[in-house]
Structure 1
């Protein structure tokens, strides 16, 4: 009787890119529990991701969108331009429909939220590394049922009148101090409005905010 042939799943080499030490440590621990995932490197900001890709080898990047330096959609675009066949799985803090869509359009192959369990995360890693695409079930449902409304309403239409004024001034090249002087409000108030409008619109960096406003001619 011939012995049963056992086929082992191929080893998946992963680069972890996340700006939070506790998340990096947690992922390292979790992947150490997996038989066929090997962590090839850890990046704490966008520059380290680019540096790794010059000499390092991996099968997948597990990517946070809010690291210091170059991050978010801009980092995805840079990775895509440098290594278009390298799969990227975004590891997001929230089930944010706009962020997920932006990441997928920029070149990411999947989006998984940070509140998933180990089994779901590993399933997403395997699927994306194998050339597939993955998105959280809850987020996919949200996209299906809210997609039509989201396409009609532009992200900046969520802003209040004051937030819109500040947004346009930022896009027009004004600094926090200049905006505070022009609107006769405090620097702290300007910064608070800026943080809120960026959260509402799903921006992870000033560059994303500026590009969005310039592309749509939203300058003051």
Structure 2
């Protein structure tokens, strides 16, 4: 029996995926969670094989959760479910440890295929993501600058773009204020920007606002 967890802050979305999977033989819902903190707490209490993880969560974002899961649960498979198209986050999430990336408007058959693929230890790549990967490998990618950010840089970037303070980010990510300030300076340099306001504008322009 494959144990599946659904992490999304919208109850109607969780119910929708639960309804899609309720009659599927061989799959059991291990738990549901409405936030990153709740997901991490329940992972300590329940065994799970595949985590369906939304990117946009209150508090700890899906990116935060992915980072922690990769540190603590090496064998847990993570399938990112997102309202953002592949062009926005698929490649960064795969690079940072996700086993697959799927848009929320997927059909039931594609969801099942993705779950079964990652459960077998393989990566699930949609047709569009495969094109993006091929372009990237061929050096033909026109990927925006944010795709080159490290996992931690992406975390800090998205929090700064939401208007969080350096001290608040330091507390949330268990980093020193000096370290976060260093990340901020590095981000401004990599993205060729000059201020937090420009970081926010960049995030909006590229449709990257998470949580």
Question: How does the TM-score come out when normalised to structure 2?
Answer: 0.69
The answer to whether the aligner puts 1:113 opposite 2:107 as a matched pair is no
CA change 1:32–1:198 in 2 (3 A) is same
The answer to whether the aligner puts 1:198 opposite 2:203 as a matched pair is yes
CA change 1:93–1:201 in 2 (3 A) is closer
Matches within 5 A, 1:97-136: 97-136=87-126
Determine the structure 2 residue equivalent to 1:154: 145
Counterpart Cα distance in 2 of 1:104 and 1:126: 17
Structure 2's unaligned 5+ residue stretches are 148-159, 169-195
CA change 1:172–1:41 in 2 (3 A) is closer
* Residue 174 (structure 1) shift: 10
Question: How does the TM-score come out when normalised to structure 1?
Answer: 0.67
Determine the structure 2 residue equivalent to 1:26: 16
Structure 1's unaligned 5+ residue stretches are 1-10, 157-166, 176-190, 206-220
* Residue 37 (structure 1) shift: 1.1
Structure number with larger C-alpha Rg: 1
Counterpart Cα distance in 2 of 1:174 and 1:44: 26
The answer to whether the aligner puts 1:69 opposite 2:74 as a matched pair is no
* Residue 96 (structure 1) shift: 3.0
Moved more, 44-53 or 66-75: 66-75
Please give the per-residue CA displacement for 1:45-68, whole angstroms capped at 9, x wherever unaligned.
000111011111111100000011
Is the Cα–Cα contact under 8 Å of residues 14 and 59 in structure 1 kept in the other structure? yes
CA change 1:195–1:154 in 2 (3 A) is closer
Alignment size in residue pairs: 171
CA change 1:152–1:87 in 2 (3 A) is closer
Please give the per-residue CA displacement for 1:144-167, whole angstroms capped at 9, x wherever unaligned.
2366354675139xxxxxxxxxx7
Counterpart Cα distance in 1 of 2:134 and 2:15: 34
Counterpart Cα distance in 1 of 2:198 and 2:16: 33
CA RMSD of aligned residues (A): 3.2
Tell me the secondary structure at the aligned position of residue 49 of structure 1: helix
